[in-house]
Amino acid sequence: MSINKQTDVTENTKETGGFAETVKTVLYAVLIAFGVRTFAFEPFNIPSGSMIPTLLVGDYLFVSKFSYGYSKHTVAFGFPLFQGRIFESIPERGDVAVFKLPRDNKTDYIKRVVGLPGDTVQVLGGVLHINGQPVKRERIEDYVTTDALGREIREAQYIETLPNGRSHRIIEESDNGPLDNTPLYTVPQRHVFMMGDNRDNSLDSRVASQVGYVPLENMVGRAEFLFFSLEDGTRFFEVWRWPVDLRFSRLFSGVN
C-alpha cells in the first residue's frame, strides 16, 4: 500500500508540475505578444477604400508603435496603463498613420498626415493648400479598376508632392465634389490634420463633425509595410481562395 501511495504522489506531482509549466508557457507567450503589440509592431487590415491607390481593401500591414511614442492608445488590447504620451515625436508630413478616432477614442482609422500643429490647411478646386501655398500635383495615368459587374472604371490620378518633398499618389473623381472646396483650417497645437489619398471618398479631418483634428495622443503608429494582401471580398480564413486572390506583387512592399 505504501508503494502505491508513493506512486500516486509522484504521478500527481508530475501532473501538477506539467500543468504549471503549461500555464507559465502560455503566460510568457501572452506577455511577449502584449509587449510586441504595445512597443514594437501591430498588424492591421484595410477594410475600406479611403486610402486607394496607396492601400487597397484587403491589404494587411504592420504599424510601428515606437514611431510617435507611447500613449494609452498604443497599449495592446486597449489597457489604460498610463496617461499622456511618453517618448513623443511629431509625425512628419506624408506619413501614413493609424490613429484612434477622436469622437470615440476607440475606432482605428488610417490616413495620411498632411497638416502639422500650427499649419493652415485648405482644399480649393481639389488642390490641397498648406500655409497658403498650393501643393504641387502632377497628372499621370488614370487609375483603372473594375466594378462588381466587371466594368472598367477610370479615375484621374496624380502624384502629389508635399512641402517637405515627400510624394505619393492620389485619385480624384472630380475637382468639384463636396470635399474639394473647404473652409480654411488652422491645426491646433498638439494636433495633426489627416486626409485620405482617395480624396473624394475619404471621411477625414475635412469633416469636423466626424473626424476633425487628431490629437497627438490618439496616434497609434506609422504604417510601415504590407505583409499580406487579398482581393476585395476574400476573407483571411478562406485559404482555398489564396492561390487565385492573393496579390503577390504587394507582399512585403513598403507603405509610401
In sequence order, the β-bridge partners of residue 171 are 157, 198
Active site residues per annotation: 50, 111
CB atoms within 10 A of CB 191: 22
The rounded distance, in Å, linking the Cα atoms of 45 and 96 is 14
Mean pLDDT (the chain) is 86
CATH of domain 40-250: 2.10.109.10
Kindly list the domain boundaries of the chain, sorted by start residue: 40-250
The rounded distance, in Å, linking the Cα atoms of 194 and 218 is 12
pTM above 0.75, yes or no: yes
Question: What are 208's three cell numbers?
Answer: 469636423
Which pLDDT score is estimated for 150?
Answer: 80
pLDDT digits (tens, 9 = 90+) for 154-192: 999 999 999 999 999 999 999 999 999 999 999 999 999
Look at 13 and 229; give whichever has higher pLDDT: 229
pLDDT digits (tens, 9 = 90+) for 39-76: 457 999 999 999 999 999 999 999 999 889 888 877 75
- pLDDT category at 31 given cuts 50, 70, 90 is very low
Compute the average pLDDT of residues 182-203: 97
Answer yes or no: are the C-beta atoms of 119 and 187 closer than 8 Å. Answer: yes
CA angle 21/22/24 to nearest 5° reads 65
Q: 227: which DSSP letter?
A: E
DSSP string, 29-40: HHHHHHHHHHHT
- pLDDT category at 3 given cuts 50, 70, 90 is very low
The rounded distance, in Å, linking the Cα atoms of 171 and 53 is 7
Q: Could you give the dihedral angle defined by the CA atoms of residues 11, 13, 18 and 22, in that order, rounded to the nearest 10 degrees?
A: 150
Output the 3-class SS for 142-194. Answer: EEEEECCCCCEEEEEEEEEECCCCCEEEEEECCCCCCCCCCCCEECCCCEEEE
Look at 86 and 36; give whichever has higher pLDDT: 86
